[in-house]
Chain A
Amino acid sequence: MERRDFIKLTGAGVGGLILPITGNMVSAAQLLDRPMDVSMKKQLADVALNAAKSAGASYADARIGRYLNQFITTREKVVNNVVNTESAGIGIRVIANGTWGFASTSKMTPDSIAKTAKQAVAIAKANSKFQTEPVQLALVKGVGEVSWKTPIVKNAFEIPIKEKADMLLNVNNAALSNGASYITSVIFLVNEQKYFASTDGSYIDQDVHRLWAPFFASAVGKSGFKQRTSLGNPVGMGFEYLDGKKEDKIYVDGANIGYNNSYDMVEDAVNAGKQLQKKLAAKSVKPGKYDLVLDPAHLMLTIHESVGHPLELDRVLGYEANFAGTSFATLDKWKSKKFQYGSDIVNLVADKTQPYSLGYVGYDDEGVKTKQWDLIKDGVLVNYQAIRDQVHMIDQTESHGCCYSQSWRDVQFQRMPNVSLQANQEEDLTANDIIKGVEKGIYIAGRGSFSIDQQRYNFQFGGQLFYEIKDGKIVDQIEDVAYQSNTQDFWNSCTQLAGKSDYRVGGSFFDGKGQPPQVSAVSHGCPTTRFNNINVLNTKRKV
C-alpha cells in the first residue's frame, strides 16, 4: 500500500472506483485463508535461485510475499469505506557481473518464476556496462529454515468488521459530543507474510503485523477553525493496542494524556473535542526564545527527521541526491570520532528488535538477523545505518540488518530502522518533574507540520497541543507555535531527559524514499525531553 493510495482510499467523496496500485481487494473471509504452505514456498524459491545461478548469477535472493491490508474509514456518523486488499507474488534479486538485477512477477508457476529469475540476470548484465562500482556484499551465514512472527495477542484481521466500525463510530461520537464539529477516523491493518530465500542457504518465513488507528478532528468557531489529530501511535501490535489499559496512560498536569503500549482512542477523542474548543479561544504565542519540553508523541518525528534520515548511509554517499537529498553528517565527521551531534546526555540507538515497534522483525529483507547498534553515543556520532552492499564503505564487515522493500514487486534497499533516544538512566524523572524546572517555556505534544532541508540542517516543526510554561507550571493552552533550529544546535541544547517509565514509542506508517518511491514504517522511542533556548515563531498570518 503506497501512501498516495492510502490517502485516496481514506478520503471522503472520491469519485468513481478506487484502485490500489499494489493490492487486489478481496473479501474478509479470504484474508483469513491459510497462507501458502512453507514447503511450497521453499520449492518455488529454489526454482528462482537455481534459474538465477544457471543464468550466471553469483548471488540471488527470492522474496515470496503476500501482503494484506484492511482499512475502515468513517466520517462523523457514516462508514465511508470497508476495504480489503491482497497482493502476492515473487521478487528476485541477483548479482551478475558485479551488478544488481531485479525482476518480479505475480504469476507463481515454476516456469514464470524461472523466466523472471533469468530476466533479473539479463537486466544485471545489461546494466553492468554502466557499472563503475562493482557490488561488494558483506558475508552472511545462511540460517537454514527459520520462522518469526510479530508477537501479537489479538489478530486485528480476525476482529469482526462491525466491531471495528462501531469502535470508530464511538470515537467520532465522543469527539462530536465534546466540542468537535467534524471528524474522520480510520483503522488500518497490515499483515506482511514474507518468505525470504538466498543462495547463502537461508529460508526465512516471517509473519509481520502492524496497526494504526488515527482520527482527524476539527472544530469551527466564529473566527475560524482548528484541527486536532489523535495522539495514539502506529504500532507493531495486534488489536490489543486499542485496549487502553490504565497502566499505559501517562498524565501531564494541566495538559494532555500520553499513551504507551496501549491506546484509549475514545478518551483521546473526548479530550480532542475539549481541546479544540480551547484552541479556538487560545491566545497566540509571542515569538522568541523558549525552553521546550517535548512530549514523546511529538519528539519522535523530530528524531525521525533530524537523526534518522541524516544517518542513512545511502543519503550520506549521494545515492538519494536526486530525490530526498544528501546529509550534513558526512563521513569525515564520523571518522573524526569527535563530531558532537548532541549534548553528552544524548544517546540514540538504531534497533530492529524493539518490541511493539513498526520496524521489529526477526530478519531483514536480505536475510540478515536484526540487532541494535549505537548511532550517537554520549552526544558523539559513532555509526550509520547500512546494509550488506554498503558496510564496506564504512570499513565494517557486518550488515546492520535494515534492508526493506514495500512489496514483492519492488526491489529492497536500505531503510531506516527504529531510531530511539535513550531515557535518563540515572533518575526516573517524569514530564511533570521536568516542567517544574522550566521558568519560561512551552510544552508541545503531538505531531504537526514538519519541514527540513535536503541535508538535514535547518528544520521547522509544529505540533498538536501547545502549553505555555511559566515558573515551573503549565498556565495555558496557546496556539500558532512552530520552532525553528539547526540539527546540531538543537541536539546540543538538550539538557534534560525523563526516565524509563516515561519512555514511549511513536512512529510513522509512511516514510518515503527512493525513485520510484517506496514507503516503510518506522518507530522512534524517547522520553519527555527538554531543549533550552529554542527559537519559536508565530505562524498566524493575515491574508
Chain B
Amino acid sequence: MSIVTEKEAKKILKKVLSFSKADECECNLNGQLTGNIRYARNTVTTAGEVSDLTLAVQSTYGMKMGVATINEFDDASLEKVVRRAEELAKLAPDNPELMPNLKPQKYAKMNTYFDATANVTPKYRAKAADDGITPSKAKKLVASGFLTDSYTMSAIMNSNGLFAYNVATDISFSATIRTEDGKGSGWVTRDYSDVTKMNTAEASQIAIKKSLGSAAAKELEPGKYTVILEPAAGVGLLGRLFNNMDQRAADEGRSFLSYKAKQDEKNAPKNKLGEKMFDQRVNIYSDPNHPEVPTATFADDGSTVGKTYWIKNGKIENFQSSRYWADKTNSKYNPTASGSHQWIMSGGDGSLEEMIKNTRRGILVTRLWYIRQLDPQTLLYTGLTRDGTFYIENGKIKYPVKNFRFNESPIVMLNNIEALGKPVRIDGNMVPPMKIRDFTFSSLSDAV
C-alpha cells in the first residue's frame, strides 16, 4: 500500500483523529511509488523501485507539540502513533512560536496527476537508457544518465475539520555523454508532470551533439563576458535568489533584503518590500495552476495556495515567511505549495537559437555546477560552467571554450539583462534563457 484514494485517506485520518486526546491534532498521510534506472560507461548500472506510505501525527497541548510517524495501518498501530505524539508533546518544552491549527479551507482544483506517468514501466525506463547508450556507441561516445519517475499522494486532516488531498506525478531525465578521449562532454536534462511530453531519444541527441561539439576547447581569458545562460544554467542562481526571500531573515538584518536605515531615519522599514531591485523585465511568481509546472493548491500546513508574485516589474512584491512570523509582524502570509518549491520567471517569446543569432560576441553556457555562496549580503556565488561552453561570434557558435569559474551575484545578473527568451520547465520551475552582459568569470578550469 503506497497510494490511497481520497476516500481511503479520509477514512484512515478520521480514525486517527478519533484516538486523539490532545488539545489539537493534525495528521499527514504521504505515499510514494517511485522507479529509477541509472546507466554509465554505456551499460545499465542500477535500477529499482520504492514504495512507501507514512502517517505523521502532530499533537499539541497548549504550546507543547510532539510529532510521531508510522507506516503500519492497523487500528492498534494508528492508536499507538497518536499516543506517541502525545507523549512527546507532554515532554517537550513550550514553543512560543507554535501556531494553532487552521480551520477548514476551500482549495482550487489541482491538475498534477497524469495517468501515463503513474504507469511508467521498467521497460520504458530501459528504453530511456538505451536511447542514450545505442546512439552513443555508434558514435564512439560514452553515455551515462539517470531517469526517475514518481507517483505521490498527500493528505492532511486536523481536529478543526480541515481536509486536503492530492495526487501528483513527475518524471525527470538527465544524461551526460562524453567522448572516449574525455575531451568532450555534453549534458541534457528534462522534467515533466506528464510523461507523454518526454522524449529521451531527442534529449540524448542534444547531449551527443554537445559532446562532439565541445571537444578541443580553446582557452579564453577570464573576465567579464556577455553570456547566454540556457535555462538549465540559469536555474541554479535564480533558485538561490528565490530561496533567500525569507521575511524573518530580512527583518532581522540578515538578508540581502534587509533595509539599511539612513542616519536619523525615523520609522524606517526593516525590509525592502516594494523596493525596485532588478531590471523592469524581471517577474518571478508561483502559480499552482501553471499548466507546465502544476502543484498542489494547499501548503504543508493546509493553507490555500494561489498565484503569488515575489518580484513584479523588478520590485520586491512579496516575501516568503512562516505563519508565525507573518502573524507577529502583521504582514501577509504567502504559503507555498506542499511538496514543491515551484517558481516561474517570465520571459519573452524568442527561442535560444534566436538569442544566439542576435549575439555579436558572447558565451553560451549549458549548465553551472557546484554553486556555493560567498557572501549572503550580496548573494555573491561561485561555481563553474560544465558540459558544453561555447564562444558565439556574429550570431553563430564559433568554437567550444574551456570551462570557467564564475564569481557572480544573481542581483547583479538581473540588473544586467540584455534579453529573455521563452521559459521552459527545469526542475519543476519555469526558466527563460537569459542573455546577460558583464557576467564575471574569475578563472579557467581544466575540467571537461
Contact = CB atoms under 8 A, between A and B. Distances in A.
Interface of A: 12-20, 23-28, 30, 78-80, 82-85, 100, 102-103, 106, 123, 126-127, 130-133, 161, 165, 181-182, 218, 220, 223-225, 227, 317-323, 325-326, 328, 330, 409, 411, 449-458, 460, 462, 480, 482, 484, 486, 515-516, 537, 539-543
Nearest to A226: B377
Nearest to A124: B47
B145 to A, nearest CB: 5
20 contacts: A14-B300, A17-B67, A19-B28, A78-B95, A79-B92, A80-B97, A106-B71, A130-B133, A181-B253, A220-B252, A220-B253, A322-B187, A323-B146, A451-B383, A451-B405, A453-B445, A453-B446, A455-B448, A458-B445, A537-B407
Interface in B396-426: 403, 405, 407, 409, 411-412
Q: Could you say which of A13, A28, A318 has the most chain B C-beta atoms within 10 Å of its C-beta? A: A13
Contacts of A24: 54, 68-71
B30 interface: yes
B321 A133 contact: no
B91 to A, nearest CB: 7
A18 B84 CA distance: 15
A130 B133 CA distance: 10
A539 B375 contact: yes
Interface residues of B, number: 100
Closest 9 interchain pairs by CB?
A16-B300, A13-B322, A220-B253, A453-B447, A458-B445, A455-B447, A16-B301, A130-B44, A322-B144
Contacts of A456: 447
Contact of A543 (B175, B322, B372, B378): B378
A321 B144 contact: yes
Contacts of B27: 17
A305 B258 CA distance: 34
Contacts, number: 241
A325 B40 CA distance: 11
Contacts of A457: 445-447
Interface of B: 26-28, 30, 36, 38-48, 50, 54, 56, 58, 67-71, 84, 87-88, 91-93, 95-97, 122, 126, 129-130, 133, 142, 144-146, 148, 156, 174-176, 178, 182, 185, 187, 248, 252-254, 256, 258, 260, 299-303, 321-325, 335, 338, 369-380, 382-384, 386, 403, 405, 407, 409, 411-412, 442-448
A19 B32 CA distance: 13
Nearest to B175: A322
Given A13-B321, A165-B93, A325 B447 contact: yes
Contact of B142 (A223, A321, A454): A321
A28 B87 CA distance: 10
Nearest to B85: A25
Given A16-B28, A318-B144, 18 more contacts: A13-B324, A14-B300, A16-B338, A18-B67, A24-B54, A79-B92, A82-B88, A318-B40, A319-B41, A322-B38, A322-B175, A453-B447, A457-B446, A458-B384, A460-B442, A480-B375, A540-B378, A541-B412
A409 B302 CA distance: 30
Nearest to B386: A454
Contact of B176 (A85, A321, A458): A321
Nearest to A223: B260
B68 A26 contact: yes
A355 B370 CA distance: 31
B96 A78 contact: yes
Contacts of A28: 88, 91
B370 A13 contact: no
Nearest to A330: B182
Given A19-B30, A24-B70, A539 B384 contact: no
Nearest to B182: A326
Contacts of B46: 100, 102, 411
Given A15-B322, A127-B47, A130-B44, A454 B369 contact: yes
B253 A543 contact: no
B375 A453 contact: no
Contacts of B87: 27
Nearest to B189: A322
A543 to B, nearest CB: 4
A304 to B, nearest CB: 13
B380 to A, nearest CB: 5
B378 to A, nearest CB: 5
B92 A543 contact: no
Contact of A25 (B69, B130, B142, B382): B69
Contacts of A321: 40, 142, 144, 176, 178, 185
Contacts of A82: 88, 91-92
Nearest to B298: A16
A484 B323 contact: no
Given A13-B248, A318-B142, A455-B447, A541 B409 contact: yes
A56 B197 CA distance: 39
Given A78-B95, A318-B142, A540-B375, A27 B384 contact: no
Contacts of A123: 47-48
Contact of A453 (B376, B386, B442): B386
Contact of A17 (B38, B142, B300, B403): B300
Contact of B411 (A126, A130, A516, A543): A543
A16 B380 contact: no
A389 to B, nearest CB: 11
Nearest to B92: A82
Contacts of B93: 79, 165
Contacts of B300: 14-17
Given A225-B254, A322-B146, A322-B175, A516 B36 contact: yes
A515 B302 CA distance: 32
A123 B44 CA distance: 12
A451 B372 contact: yes
Contacts of B374: 449, 462, 482, 539
A132 B42 contact: yes
B145 A322 contact: yes
A85 B58 CA distance: 14
B41 to A, nearest CB: 5
Nearest to B375: A539
A224 B377 contact: yes
A457 B444 CA distance: 10
Given A78-B96, A132-B43, A458 B69 contact: no
Given A82-B88, A482-B374, A484-B443, A220 B254 contact: yes
Contact of B447 (A25, A161, A224, A328): A328
B166 to A, nearest CB: 14
Contact of A78 (B67, B97, B321, B379): B97
A453 B68 contact: no
Contacts of A224: 260, 377
Nearest to A413: B46
Contacts of A127: 44, 47
Nearest to B54: A19
A240 B25 CA distance: 38
A165 to B, nearest CB: 7
